[in-house]
Amino acid sequence: MKKIILIYLLTSIFLFSNITEKYINIIQKNEIFTCDIKEKVIPLIGENFTGMYYKGRPYGLWELKNKKVRQCFLSNERKYYYEDRYYIVDNSDYYFKIDYQKNIYIIKDKKNKDRVLYFEKKNQKYIQRYGIYEELKLPESLDEQMYFKIIKRTTIKELEDFEEIKKIFQERE
């Protein structure tokens, strides 16, 4: 009986350490804001922002000219960076947030909706913390805030026509 309990305890410790390692890998992968686009996009320049447009939707990097707010729209995820406040990654697998003011990392596993993990970084190591789940809300995206300023300058139809003209010239080259 003691052997069974010992095996059960060792197995559970091993399983939980692998789970924690999985989430630490997510943190390390997303610790720095990046926006790697794979499509050819139309650049947009507004009064106080720059952005990119692809197939009728925001795609790639959108940022305010002072670079304090940066957002990345990819086909499978969105990233939000607010200087000295927080950085968020939202995709189909997880929701990840770095809160710079509280110095915590939060990961919400979307497949297991009850699993929300908190980590803190001390001496280049991530330590799992336990806390109360707070509602994780996405901020309003820049493309939605700047939409009307874009439409005043150019229409969606003009952008789509530009995309078609660009393709014709690329085919001729």
Q: What is the pLDDT of residue 9?
A: 47
User: How many Cβ atoms from other residues are within 10 Å of residue 25's Cβ?
Assistant: 10
Cα–Cα nearest to 22, from 95, 107, 110:
107
Q: Taking a C-beta distance cutoff of 8 angstroms, is the pair 99, 40 a contact?
A: no
End-to-end CA, the chain: 77
Q: What is the pLDDT of residue 170?
A: 58
10-residue stretch averages of pLDDT, the chain, 173 residues long = 54 52 86 87 83 85 86 90 88 87 83 80 81 59 52 47 54 52
